[in-house]
Structures are given as structure tokens and as C-alpha cells.
Structure 1
């Protein structure tokens, strides 16, 4: 059995590349278990082969140790963060998104929402001194105020306008690259493709909900025609380009 396991490990290493866009992960939890942890693959075909090898590897291992955890391994296309040199800083990304939202709120005449963002921010800022933390506080207050003061239709209109004003994502980017920009700024983690969109772990939360605002703005900046919908599944947030508008500022975590 040891020889079989070693042979499968060697084959996995042969299939892997340093910067591939595909990974093998559990479809339920997003976890990438041994022996595919940390491995990337250049295309879906090689990733499918790797998934088969990983299932066989873990099945073989389970014959020796029945307590081996079970995973439903599938292929994911990643949208990991951009290289550090290309990604905006967290503070810059937060300020860009919230600044664009302020401009859009003002243009639409939503004064109560504008005031709610500022009131919440000033109250929270009194207890916060770190500049990086302050930018996240501002983002969190903006997301909460939008949820409290705008209905889904108004929120979608404001964010489409804000997305046109935002510079977080290049205009010619794809939705996957837009997610990569948000992840590169440290505002989302563990981004992976799903059968009908993407999933990610929220980096910013507000009152038990995931702050989805930066992802919504980034995606709408490259797909203004999309009916973006967010929903939470346990600790991950699922994103689809249809079925919305829903959860554009925050998404309650289950």
C-alpha cells in the first residue's frame, strides 16, 4: 500500500504547476486536504485527473485507518488574490469603495443613508486608532447603513453607479479577476469557483453578517448588467450573477 500511495503522490506532483488556476477541494467545506493541499493545476483536465488520484489516495488510506476524514473532492477554478505589487492595499480598497458609494448616494439624493454612514463611523472611530482598522470600520458602517436605509432596488442602483466610479478593478477585467482584486486587498479569502458562480470567506463582518459590499462593487464594475445575488452557507458566502439583487451590502451567516 505504501508503494501505491507513493506512486499516486508522484503522479500528483507531475500534474501540478506553480501558478495554475485550478485546485482540488471539498465541495462542502472548501478545504484542500492532503495530498492535494497546496497543489495547483494548469487546466481543468489535469485537475480532474488529480481529483481522481486524490480520491483513490484517501480511499486507500482509509483502508488502513477508518477514521480518515471523508471529503467530497471536486475541481475549483480559483480567484486568489493578485500579486502584492498589483493589488490595492486594504485601506485604499476600502476608501475607494466607500468613496464611490458616497458619491452615488449623493447623486441619488439618499441623504439619510449618507448621514447614517458618517454617524456610525464617527461613533466607532473614537475607539479606533489604527489607520488600517479605521478603513475597515468605515466599510463596515457603510455596508450596515446601506442595508438599513435602502431597499434592494435602490441599493442595486446605487451600487451600479458606485461601481462605475470605483477604481478597485480594471474596466476590462472578468468577474474572476474582480474577485481576485478584492481578495488581493485582503477583503475576501478562500475564493473558489462553484457550479453557478463563486464562493469566498468574508474578511469583514458586521453583527454576525458577512460584508459583501466590496465584492458587489467590484463585480458590478465589470458586469453592470448582472443581477448579483449573495447568500451564506455556514461560514462561506456564495455569489451568483443572476437571481438578485440580494445581499449586496451584507449577507447573514448561518
Structure 2
């Protein structure tokens, strides 16, 4: 299964990493840090080269199921673990980065990652580069999501990268949880999407939609919560004093939402529910359900890694109204997809 393959390769790459290594991996063309080696350091050039080969294998494995996964020219670069305050741009002019599937601190493969100052200088981007070198991030327009030439903009580099990183993390979590049937159902649904639609640049969105809806169909609510918490732990943590605002800021930056407005928390305790209005959501509802999976992953990343207890979705003028209920002992609801009310 793809999740088994991705998890094994990711673990192998992290086993090569060092707490104080001077070598890292970057894309020669863009300076981005490739999943799943983003932020890892390696003690020797030999170890870094082995990690580079494994990184290419990881992306090739995912590309077997989604041919739109970008191609990278992964190279080894020497830098210094002690340079806490030096960002990438100050070293070599490349300031873009790529979020990796890191394990949580203190875990089996807990290795030293780059400083917060360095990480803040990266963008979580993923160039859409085909094997022949065609950079689709600069294409003006693509066919619409239903295959028509309706002027819908092609997904941005950030959106493509976001979708692939999220899907890969969930695949790994499904494999770790022995949910092979759900993993197979996701790929079957994705292939069906690919056959029905002529928009290749939008397939990354279809993949994430398939993940969201098959998780809801194939797993109990508590199982969904466990898988999503595990998936979030495989993405870089981004703790925020206001996890809701931080999560939606990231979603807006990646193009998952066009805009958002969160009701102010005021003096309410962290346990209080929050309401967020969003517009131009990139993922499409199906069968009266709204795909909430990417929102939950970001809430976990920007909070304490625990998913909310529920997300309620209402149709609203110009978009959607989401009520986010904090983590509680009650059964989770709406974590992969939520019924649209009203």
C-alpha cells in the first residue's frame, strides 16, 4: 500500500538524520526543501546523498497514484547547525521552503531541525514542475474543475504543495493504523475523479477530497480523529497563541480558502467554540457534505495537536459559516467532512 511505502521511506530518511549535521537537502531549481526531508540535517555528505535518493523514491511512490506530484532536482547543501539566526535567503538567496512530514518532538526519530528564525523565512510551497521542465505555476488559466474552460485559475504552487503534503501525511497515518481498506477506497475514488475530469492541475484537490470523504465513509468518528491527529503529527508543528486564526491564516496563504473572518475570541476561554466565515473554498462539497479535513489538520498543527470535537457547517451568503467546537469527551463530528446545514 502507498501509505506503507511512504511511512517506511520517511522513517528511513529520518534514521539518516543527525542532531548537529551540516548538510541538508534542497531543490536546485527553486531552493525549496523537499518533503519528507524538509528541515532535517545530515552528518555527512554520504548520508545526505542517501537521503536525497530516498526522498526521490518517496515522491516517485506518491506520483504513481498522482502524476501531478512535482518533480524536484534534489541536491545536497552544506550549512551549519549553530547558525540559529541565519535564514536561507541570507546564505544563498533561496528563501522558499517546503513543509515536511516531521515527527513530534521527543519521538523515536527526534532530530534537530532548523531554528524557528530559519523556518519562518520559508514558504510552504511546492513548484508544479513536470518531467520536461514545464513550470505550470506560471500558466495563466486552466480548464474549470468540471472540465470546462471557464477561466478558473490553476491551483497555485502553495495549494498544490499543501494538498500533496496533507494527503501524504494521511496516507502514512492510515497505514500506521492498519486501515488498508480505506486507503484502497481513497485511491479508487481518486482514479474515478481522474477519469471524469480533464483538468490535470486540479487533481491534487480531487485527491484531498477523496481522502476526506473516504475517511468519513470508512472509519468511525473516533477513528477519524485518531488518524487525523496522527497525520498532523507528521507535519511540522506551528503552535499559535490563537490556533484558529493561525490555522486559517495558513489556509488562506495556501489558497485553500479565498478569504476568512473569524469572530473575535475576546475574553472567552480557549475551551469556547469559535465561528469562522470563509469564502472561495478550494475543495468541493459532495452529497451535501463539506470537506473539513484540511481545516482540522491545520487546527491540530497550530494548536496542541488534538483535533476539535466537532466542526458544524452552514451555508452563508458568499461562502460558509463554520463553528469549531473545542476538544471534548463527546464523540467527534465533522472532522473529515461535515453535513451542510441550512
TM range (shorter): 0.5 to 0.7
Larger radius of gyration: 1
Higher helix content, 1 or 2: 1
How does 1:66-215 map onto structure 2 within 5 Å?
86=123, 88=125, 89-167=158-236, 170-173=237-240, 174-175=242-243, 176-194=245-263, 196-201=273-278, 202-204=281-283, 205-215=285-295
Q: Which runs of 5+ in 1 are unaligned?
A: 1-84
Q: 1:200 & 1:100 partners in 2: Cα distance?
A: 27
Task: Give distance in 1, aligned partners of 2:235 and 2:124.
Answer: 14
Correspondence for 2:102: none
May I ask how many residue pairs the two structures share in their alignment? Answer: 168
Alignment gaps of 5+ in structure 2 = 1-121, 126-157, 266-272
Are 1:232 and 2:313 an aligned pair? Answer: yes
The structure-2 alpha-carbon separation of the partners of 1:226 and 1:122, relative to structure 1 and needing over 3 Å to count, comes to: closer
Q: Following superposition, which runs of at least 4 residues in structure 1 exceed 6 angstroms of deviation?
A: none
- Tell me the C-alpha RMSD between the 2 structures: 2.1
- Which digits, 9 at most, give the CA deviation of each residue in 1:86-121, with x for residues without a partner? 464111111111110000000000011100100000
TM-score (norm 1): 0.60
SS of the residue aligned with 1:172? coil
Listed one character per residue, the Cα deviations across residues 150-202 of structure 1 (whole Å, up to 9, x for unaligned) are: 111000000000001124xx523441212211122221244222353131334
Q: Which has the higher contact order (CA 8 A, sep 6+)?
A: 1
Cα distance in 2 for partners of 1:198, 1:136 equals 25
How many Å separate the matches in 1 of 2:181 and 2:253? 32
Q: Residue 71 of structure 1 aligns with which residue? A: none
Structure with more of its chain in strand, by fraction: 1
The 8 Å contact of residues 296 and 307 in structure 2, kept in 1 or not, is answered as no
TM (norm. structure 2) is: 0.46
C-alpha distance in structure 2 between counterparts of 1:157 and 1:213, whole Å: 13
